[in-house]
Every structure is written in C-alpha cells, then in structure tokens.
C-alpha cells in the first residue's frame, strides 16, 4: 500500500539545548492505526504538531500524499491541513459555543471568511454536522453549550468536528489522557471505527499499552526525541516496555 | 555561586547605593538650608553623596546589595544592618521633607473652618430653580460619555488583536505591528483625558464634542490595553484546533478568540463607561461641555447653591452608574 505520510530526517530544536525531535524517519501506510508511545517530554506532541506545521520543524522533510508540507505556506498549507485532522488531550473546543457550531467549525478550511460568519445558513452542511454528531451519539446535544458536557462527550464532539474536515489522516495527541478508563475505551472505539470504516489513517499518542494492543495496527516509540521502536503491538513485551518507559516502569492495565 | 558575583549585579547595586545617597544628601541639604545652617553648593552635594555611596557600597551590606545580591546577605534584624538604617532614614527624611514642601498646616485646617462655613451650608441647600437647566447639562455629560465609549469600543476591539502578543506572528512584521500599536496605546493612555480635552478644545472649539473626543481617545487606548491583555490570557487550545482545520487567520480569530473574550470585554466596557461618566465631568471643567462646564461657570460666579445642585446631581448619577455597572459586571463574570 501507498505511504500516506513519510518523514525524512525530521529535527526540531526549540533552542540550542532542547532537541525535541532527533533525526526521525517514519513511513506511515494508508489505513494504519499507528500508536505513538513515549514518556512525557519524549517529543510526541512536537512530532504530531510538526506534521501539520502547528510547530515549525527545524529541518527535514514531511511528505503528505507526495507533497512536502514543509515547502507549503499560505493557502496551500491550509488546504493540506484540511486533510489532516487533529484531536487534542484537552479537546480544545470552543466552550461557550454550542455543540453544533463546534462541529461546523471543523469545516472552516473550506469556507470563505464571509461564509464562516454564517455557517448555519448552509442546510446541507448543518445536516452533515448533525449526521456526524449522531455518529458519535450526540445528536440530542446539538444545541447545548459545550461547557455543559462531560469530558468524554467533549472528545466525541471533537471527533465530529474532525469528521467535518473529511480528513485522510488524523493526528490524535493523547486523546484519552484526561478521561476515565471506560470513557477512554469508548473514545478509542470511535477512532478505531473511523480507521476501519472510513479508511482514515490515524496516528495516536497513548500511554496505555492495553489500548495500544487493542486498537493499534502498528506501534512506534519515541525516547528523547529519537525513534527507538517500530513494530507490531504484540511485539511489545515487558523488556521493550521497560526500554521505552524506563526500568522502574510497571505496566498499568486498563480495560 | 558564580552568578552572585557577576558584574552586572554589582553595577546595579552600586547605582542603587549612589542614587540613595544622592537623594539623602540632597534632601539633607534642603533641610539644613531651610534652617539656615549651611549654604548649599552643588559640588559639596555631589562629593558627599558619591563618597557616602562608595563607602556604603564597599561594606557589602548596603541597600543596593540587599536589592540585587540578596543571597549573599545574612538574615539579621533590620536595626543591626546598614541597609535597614538606610531604609529607616529614607522613610524618615522623605516624610519630613514632604511635610515641609506640601506646607502641611493642621492648625489652618481647624482654625480657618469658618471661611468655608457659608459655602458648605449653601452646598447643602441646593437651588432647585435651575434644576431643568442643570439636568440638560447633565444629560449632555451622560450622552458624551456614552458616545465616547461606544465609538471607542470597535476601535479598541480591532486594535487589541494587533496588541496581543499571542496573536501576532513572531516575525519582523508581526513584532513591528505589535510594538507600534502597544506603544501608541500606552502613550495615548498615559496622557490624561484632561490634557486631551485641552488639546481638543483648541482643535474643535469648546463644547461637548471636544470632551467626547478627549474621552474617546483616552478610552480607546485604555480599552486596547485591557482587551489585549484579555486576549493574551485566553486558552490557546482552540486556536491550535482551528488552525489545524485549515482555517485562515481571520477565521481563527472569529472562532477561537472572540467567543473567549466577549464577556470579559463587555465587563471591561461597562466599567469604562462608568469611568467615562465621572471623567466627562472633569473634562467638562476645562471646556469639554456638559455639567462640568456648568460647574466651573457657577463656581466662578460664586453661586454656591447652584454648585450644590450640580454636586448632588453628579453624586446621584455616579451612584446609579456604580450600581448598574456593578450588577451587569457581576452577571457577565458569572456567565
Ligand atoms: N514550546 C516549547 N518551548 C521549548 N521547549 C519545548 C516546548 N514544547 C516542548 N518543549 C520541550 O520539547 C520536549 C518534547 O516535548 P513534547 O513534544 O511536549 O513531549 P511529549 O508530548 O512527548 O510529552 C520536552 O523536552 C519539552 O520540554
Ligand atoms: Mg504531549
């Protein structure tokens, strides 16, 4: 299968001493559910944000569907971002707007600035947003303010928002780290569903090996900004786990 | 360890010590001269200050050392330290000199009360015959404050985006725009509305329009600062999220910034209107129209009962504004 994403010798220095990403080479195949493991500070967030250029990489190449996104700027960059959805640990919704408006905001990249003032005038779009909200089980919440929703519900709104983009790739930065275990699994299930049914490639950073094994098709691990493991989820045994997380780490299981 | 001895902090400490002694010796000379003890000579003053500055500095126990190299100095009771005495003398001498310069005279305050007795009794006996005239002047003031605030809002709203560090890109253009908007706002704000009123009275002539412009300028700059600080405090998460959908800068502002700032903006604006109503009276005093102008005229004519009426009307409006804006802000903050 095609590579949807290829990283070549990617480096990110925040300053002289902080080498957050160190010569990372990575190929992601279309349809992969790639799990990104690593301790806090190992560079997971930085790596994900380099891919859609929320953070400027210092050097290296990032090919998304054949084009190097590092060469893009202005409109072409925004058009590339439309195809790369992002999910965040803190959900990053606009809390005092409604669920529906938040879902619609995922479509901004396709709007003119004028149209973005009145997205609800487009009935077709509103229907699509409602369909996506239904998909994550939130159709009754459409007109509620986001701040009244629970964490798990908010993350599902974020998934509905990302769906509005029609993304080919989703970057998920610790999407379940602020959720309780049961909710975490349900959010991962929605992501797994997008991966299987909509053939959306997903790169997802996680801390739970059990979830990685359950949903991941492939696992890579970062340590101090370097890629130090690349393989099947089942390949991670106790020794590998200790290599990634340090000798004192114990695996915590969540079901 | 090394950092404590670095030259920069030594220089800073020395400058502080020097400035302290320039001040102490200067005020000391002033007092001695008032008492006709010595004759002031600039060279004496300079030499004494520098010598004392150097002496205290080399003891390593002076206020300058305390300020910039504090880790080196042991904890002791203040009266056992040089810097403690320096602070003590500083406060004492400032108080004494201040008393002299301001010509504080408590005896006058009590003994000459009768001078104002007539006026005060008239102030408490306002002349309601002029009520209609004064009410119309008062409404001029309120409208003036209202328009100044209303015009200032959209301007400050727009400027605030360019004065917010987190929204301006960290390149040459972004930095330049940010610095220019910030600097202009700071300068305009630090010039009192009173001074703007004087300028505009010359520019467009005495009257409420000049007062309105003065308040408009000052409010615009003040609101730009308050608004932009609000923007700098917003959660950056939604900004990232909107950028990642491929939204353009304006769309990011509309979706990720404005919803987060709208209710604090309203609260600030309400507060500003409150301030503007008070300030409108004061700018009126120098020619900005409204009740302030009336106040000045009546005061110059020594019509104290009319002044009394104005005073009570202003107090009433300020009291009402205080209550209303307090209530509204409370609602907005809770929201
Ligand atoms: N904005 C920043 N400025 C400077 N250093 C940063 C910044 N963001 C992250 N870092 C540093 O880069 C490294 C990687 O951080 P991050 O990508 O957030 O790791 P992770 O997401 O795996 O916890 C850490 O050492 C962190 O301190
Ligand atoms: Mg992170």
Q: What are the structural domain ranges in chain B? A: 2-104, 123-334
DSSP string covering B209-236, please?
HHHHHHHHHHHHHHHHHHHHHHHHTS-S
Q: Mean pLDDT score of chain B, rounded to an integer?
A: 86
pLDDT reading at A163 higher than 90: yes
Q: What are the beta bridge partners of residue A202?
A: A33, A170
Residues of A in contact with B248 (CB under 8 A): 78, 113
What is the atom index within ligand 1 of the atom nearest the CA of A21? 14
Please give the structure tokens belonging to residue A211.
Answer: 């979830």
Q: Is the dihedral of CA A102, A103, A106, A108 positive or negative?
A: negative
Question: Separation of A41 CA from ligand 2 center, angstroms?
Answer: 7
**Mean pLDDT for the stretch of residues A82-92:** 94
d(CA A139, CA A152): 15
d(CA A46, CA A5): 16
What is the pLDDT, as a whole number, of residue A81?
94
The closest ligand to the CA of A221 turns out to be 1
B333 CB within 8 Å of a chain A CB? no
What is the atom index within ligand 1 of the atom nearest the CA of A55? 1
- State pLDDT tens for residues B250-279: 999 999 999 888 888 888 888 888 888 888
Residues of B in contact with A91 (CB under 8 A): 237
Question: Separation of B239 CA from ligand 2 center, angstroms?
Answer: 17
pLDDT reading at B228 higher than 60: yes
B26 CB within 8 Å of a chain A CB? no
CATH class for the domain made up of A3-83+167-252: alpha beta
Residues of B in contact with A86 (CB under 8 A): 240-241, 244
Element (H, E) at B33: helix B7-34
Please give the structure tokens belonging to residue A97.
Answer: 């707007």
Inter-chain CB proximity A94 and B250 less than 8 Å: no
Residue A173, class by beta-carbon neighbours within 10 Å (0-12 exposed, 13-18 middle, 19+ buried)?
buried
**Mean pLDDT for the stretch of residues B178-206:** 91
Q: A3-15 and A59-64 as β-strands: parallel, antiparallel, unpaired?
A: antiparallel
Angle at A166 between CA A163 and CA A169, to 5 degrees: 90
d(CA B14, CA B66): 11
Q: What are the beta bridge partners of residue A67?
A: A64
CATH code 3.40.50.300 region(s) in chain A: 3-83+167-252
Residue A201, classed as helix, strand or coil, is: strand
Q: Mean pLDDT score of chain A, rounded to an integer?
A: 88
Residue-wise burial string across B204-242, b where 16 or more C-beta atoms lie within 10 A, e elsewhere: eebbbbbbbbbbbbbbbbbbbbbbbebbeebeebbbbbb
Inter-chain CB proximity B241 and A82 less than 8 Å: no
Element (H, E) at A102: helix A99-105
Helices B208-232/B172-190 angle, 10° precision: 140
A105 CB within 8 Å of a chain B CB? yes
What is the pLDDT, as a whole number, of residue B333?
65
Interface test with chain A among B247, B250, B252, by most A beta carbons within 10 Å: B247
What is the pLDDT, as a whole number, of residue B74?
65
What is the pLDDT, as a whole number, of residue B73?
58
Q: A18-29 and A3-15 as β-strands: parallel, antiparallel, unpaired?
A: antiparallel
pLDDT reading at A182 higher than 50: yes
What is the pLDDT, as a whole number, of residue A62?
92
**Mean pLDDT for the stretch of residues A38-61:** 91
Task: Determine the residue of chain A that is closest to B249 in CA distance.
Answer: A113
What is the pLDDT, as a whole number, of residue B151?
94
- State pLDDT tens for residues B6-54: 788 888 888 988 999 999 999 988 888 888 877 778 888 889 899 998 8
Element (H, E) at A34: strand A33-37
What is the pLDDT, as a whole number, of residue B225?
92
Least confident of A76-80, A249-253, B154-158: A249-253
Residues having C-beta closer than 5 Å to ion ligand 2: A 45
d(CA A101, CA B82): 65
pLDDT reading at B290 higher than 80: yes
d(CA B81, CA B88): 11
Residues of A in contact with B259 (CB under 8 A): 94, 96-97
A42 CB within 8 Å of a chain B CB? no
Query: Is residue B220 within 8 Å of B155, Cβ to Cβ?
Result: yes
d(CA A204, CA A201): 10
CB pairs under 8 A between A and B: 77
E strands along chain B, which residues?
Answer: none
Residues of A in contact with B256 (CB under 8 A): 94
What is the atom index within ligand 1 of the atom nearest the CA of A45? 21
Please give the structure tokens belonging to residue A76.
Answer: 């072409």
CATH of domain B123-334: 1.10.3720.10
pLDDT reading at B308 higher than 60: yes
Task: Determine the residue of chain B that is closest to A147 in CA distance.
Answer: B335
Q: A59-64 and A218-223 as β-strands: parallel, antiparallel, unpaired?
A: unpaired
- State pLDDT tens for residues B112-144: 888 788 888 888 888 888 888 889 999 998 898
- State pLDDT tens for residues A201-251: 999 999 888 888 889 999 998 888 889 888 888 887 777 777 787 766 666
Q: What pTM was computed for the model?
A: 0.75
Identify the CA nearest to A93 among candidates A174, A163, A161, A143: A161
A116 CB within 8 Å of a chain B CB? yes
Question: Separation of B54 CA from ligand 1 center, angstroms?
Answer: 47
Q: How confident is the model at residue A32 (pLDDT cuts 50, 70, 90)?
A: very high
pLDDT reading at A48 higher than 90: yes
- How near does any CA of chain A get to the CA of B241, in Å? 6
Question: Separation of A88 CA from ligand 2 center, angstroms?
Answer: 9
Question: Separation of A49 CA from ligand 1 center, angstroms?
Answer: 11
pLDDT reading at B332 higher than 80: no
What is the pLDDT, as a whole number, of residue B108?
83
d(CA A93, CA B3): 45
Residues of B in contact with A97 (CB under 8 A): 255, 259
- How near does any CA of chain A get to the CA of B235, in Å? 9
- Residues with a CB atom less than 6 Å from ligand 1: A 14, 18, 20, 38, 40-46
């Amino acid at each position: 299968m095609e590579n949807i994403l290829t990283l070549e010798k990617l480096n990110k220095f925040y300053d002289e001493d902080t080498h957050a990403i160190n010569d990372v080479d990575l190929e992601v195949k279309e349809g992969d559910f790639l799990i990104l493991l690593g301790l806090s500070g190992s560079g997971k967030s930085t790596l994900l944000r380099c891919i859609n250029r929320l953070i400027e990489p210092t050097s290296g190449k990032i090919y998304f569907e054949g084009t190097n996104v590092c060469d893009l700027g202005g409109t072409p960059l925004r058009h590339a971002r439309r195809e790369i959805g992002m999910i965040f640990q803190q959900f990053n919704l606009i809390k005092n707007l409604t669920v529906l408006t938040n879902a619609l905001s995922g479509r901004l990249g396709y709007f003119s600035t004028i149209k973005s003032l009145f997205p609800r005038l487009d009935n077709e779009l509103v229907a699509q947003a409602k369909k996506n909200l239904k998909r994550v089980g939130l159709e009754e919440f459409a007109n509620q303010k986001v701040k009244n929703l629970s964490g798990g519900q908010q993350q599902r709104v974020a998934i509905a928002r990302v769906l509005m983009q029609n993304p080919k790739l989703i970057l998920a930065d610790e999407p379940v780290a602020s959720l309780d275990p049961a909710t975490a699994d349900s959010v991962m299930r929605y992501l797994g569903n997008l991966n299987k049914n909509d053939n959306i490639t997903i790169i997802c950073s996680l801390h739970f090996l059990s979830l990685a094994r359950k949903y991941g098709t492939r696992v890579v691990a970062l340590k101090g900004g370097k890629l130090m493991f690349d393989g099947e989820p089942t390949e991670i045994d106790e020794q590998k786990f200790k290599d990634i997380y340090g000798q004192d780490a114990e695996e915590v299981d969540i079901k | 360890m090394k950092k404590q001895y670095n030259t920069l902090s030594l220089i800073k400490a020395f400058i502080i010590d020097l400035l302290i002694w320039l001040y102490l010796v200067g005020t000391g000379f002033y007092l001695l001269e008032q008492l006709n003890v010595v004759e002031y000579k600039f060279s004496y003053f300079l030499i004494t200050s520098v010598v004392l500055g150097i002496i205290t500095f080399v003891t390593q126990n002076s206020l300058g050392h305390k300020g910039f190299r504090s880790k080196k100095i042991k904890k002791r009771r203040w009266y056992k330290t040089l810097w403690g005495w320096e602070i003590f003398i500083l406060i004492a001498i400032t108080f004494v000199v201040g008393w002299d310069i301001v010509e504080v005279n408590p005896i006058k305050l009590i003994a000459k009360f009768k001078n104002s007795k007539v006026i005060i009794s008239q102030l408490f006996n306002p002349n309601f015959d002029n009520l209609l005239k004064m009410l119309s002047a008062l409404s001029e003031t309120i409208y003036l404050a209202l328009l100044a605030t209303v015009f200032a809002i959209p301007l400050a709203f727009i400027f605030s985006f360019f004065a917010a560090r987190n929204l301006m890109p960290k390149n040459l253009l972004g930095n330049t725009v940010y610095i220019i908007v910030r600097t202009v706002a700071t300068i305009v704000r630090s010039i009192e509305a009173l001074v703007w009123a004087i300028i505009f009275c010359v520019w467009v002539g005495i009257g409420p329009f000049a007062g309105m412009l003065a308040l408009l300028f000052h409010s615009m700059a003040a609101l730009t600062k308050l608004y932009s600080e609000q923007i700098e405090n917003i959660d950056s998460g939604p900004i990232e999220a909107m950028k990642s959908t491929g939204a353009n800068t304006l769309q990011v502002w509309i979706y990720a910034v404005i919803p987060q700032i709208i209710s604090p903006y309203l609260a600030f604006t309400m507060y500003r209107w409150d301030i503007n109503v008070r300030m409108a009276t004061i700018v009126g005093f120098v020619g900005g129209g409204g009740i302030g102008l009336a106040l000045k005229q009546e005061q110059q004519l020594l019509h104290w009962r009319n002044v009394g009426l104005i005073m009570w009307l202003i107090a009433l409006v300020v009291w009402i504004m205080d209550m209303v804006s307090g209530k509204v802000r409370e609602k907005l903050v809770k929201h």
